[in-house]
Chain A
């Protein structure tokens, strides 16, 4: 890639997060992103497949030929999985965000008292 990939746009980042633990088809990605973000980010089909197209071209994800459970699932669905490059990229992006969050924390912009919001301290 000639273009630097970071920072990722929120849809691309959340799609990669959704694919981090398992292969998913388009609808699975959409559902998982909605779950991750408590419905704050709802990908429309156009955004979802537009991103997937660009991510395939950039080599962040690839199509998987295996079906996790051929009996249960619709044969026509395409499954996507993350590539090694995708994994490195999502790690780097998560690290970048973590750095930004800790910078915000040192400036007392995050509420420590509410673990639900700030994640709390161990």
Chain B
């Protein structure tokens, strides 16, 4: 695509995005904002090249998201006080406003419409860009706790080959990343685990110790709560007769050779950090790459509650939150960022 048409396309998208701003603000400044955006796009494309143009577009998108919120809150207060802060009040703007609002009822219809628009924008933003999840089980305990409410960045990982992968600063899944994905046995559920194996990696476990491609991993993020050695869980994959699911059986039939499992193309081998109490790839096989939803961004609220209360909404849970919000919220975990950490390979060949 030639750069000029990319610029034109960006400008068209931006002029649509301007509709998310409150109406008074848009009428007053929208035209100029579009003009400024077009000028700057042209300048960046011409002087600094296409990668910088995409960065500028991304930057403007972030600017857009933060300022629509700001302007909407401001306009709410202005409407409440009945003040119009239309600086300058130029005749042209007034005329445009008169044309725009001709035949429309201003109040309270306008107020409701503004907020419906805001809700739509935020719904869009929160379903395509970030999504909220709660951790109901202890499989990542040590890193993520039961009751951690978190936001998942849905645009962190590109789907290979998609158009967007050239447009945004995507990167691919790496070993040690924490990922959120659709549970392959039941895609209505979302799981969060750590990536241990990428396509082509050979994985096995000896006495709870992961050996990847023949090298022992030192994994500072794991925890073991159980001294007992389970032949299936801790010396994986030596006991195929104990597989638990159809996908687990498929993994044993197709990918296990010489006592280790080889991750096939387009798949990931994931495990929970709480190794002794985690339902993960050892039991139900690989995660298809396309099932990856995103990357945990931050924990916005951590509440000490039992698993059952977090899986389905209940009145007792709502009461519990109401009564114990301050004492049961784990304040120290608020805004915690779950880090990707890569394991070291100590080089010990086994």
Answer whether A and B are interacting partners. yes
A44: nearest chain-B partner, CB-CB = B63
Does B32 interact with chain A (Cβ within 8 Å)? yes
Across-interface contacts of B33 in A (CB, < 8 A): 26, 45-46, 48-49
Residues of A within 8 A of B37 (CB): 45
Roughly how many angstroms separate A52 CA and B71 CA in the complex, as a whole number?
12
**Is B103 interfacial (CB-CB < 8 Å)?**
no
Do A50 and B67 touch across chains, with their CB atoms under 8 A apart?
yes
> Does B43 count as interface, using CB distance less than 8 angstroms?
yes
B32 pairs with A53, CB closer than 8 A: no
- Tell me how far the C-beta of B39 lies from the nearest C-beta in chain A, rounded to whole angstroms: 4
Q: Is the CB of A27 within 8 A of B39?
A: yes
Give the CA-CA distance A30 to B38 in the complex, in Å: 12
Which residues of B, 68-96, contact A by the 8 Å Cβ criterion? Answer: 68, 70-71, 85, 87-88, 90
Are the CB atoms of A53 and B87 closer together than 8 Å? Answer: yes
- With a CB–CB cut-off of 8 A, which chain A residues contact B35? 26-27, 74, 76-77
Q: Is the CB of A77 within 8 A of B32?
A: yes
* A77 CA / B35 CA spacing, docked (Å): 9
Complex Cα distance, B43 from A83, in Å, reads: 30
Any B CB within 8 A of the CB of A47: yes
- Alpha-carbon separation in the docked complex, A108 to B59 (Å): 35
Say yes or no: B88 contacts A45, CB within 8 Å: no
Question: Is A78 an interface residue, CB under 8 A from the partner?
Answer: yes
A25 to B34, CA, bound (A): 13
Find residues 13-48 in chain A having any chain B CB closer than 8 Å to their own CB: 25-27, 30-31, 42-48
- B64 near A46: Cβ-Cβ < 8 Å: yes
Residue contact A26 to B36, C-beta cutoff 8 Å? yes
Out of A25, A31, A74, which one reaches B43, CB within 8 Å? A31
What are 26 pairs between A and B in contact, CB < 8 Å? Answer: A26-B36, A27-B40, A30-B40, A31-B40, A42-B59, A44-B60, A44-B63, A45-B34, A45-B36, A45-B37, A45-B40, A46-B21, A46-B63, A47-B63, A49-B25, A49-B29, A50-B71, A52-B87, A53-B25, A53-B85, A56-B87, A57-B85, A57-B87, A74-B35, A76-B31, A78-B32
Per CB-CB distance, the 9 closest pairs between chain A and chain B, nearest first, are A44-B63, A56-B87, A46-B67, A45-B33, A49-B29, A63-B88, A27-B39, A27-B36, A26-B36
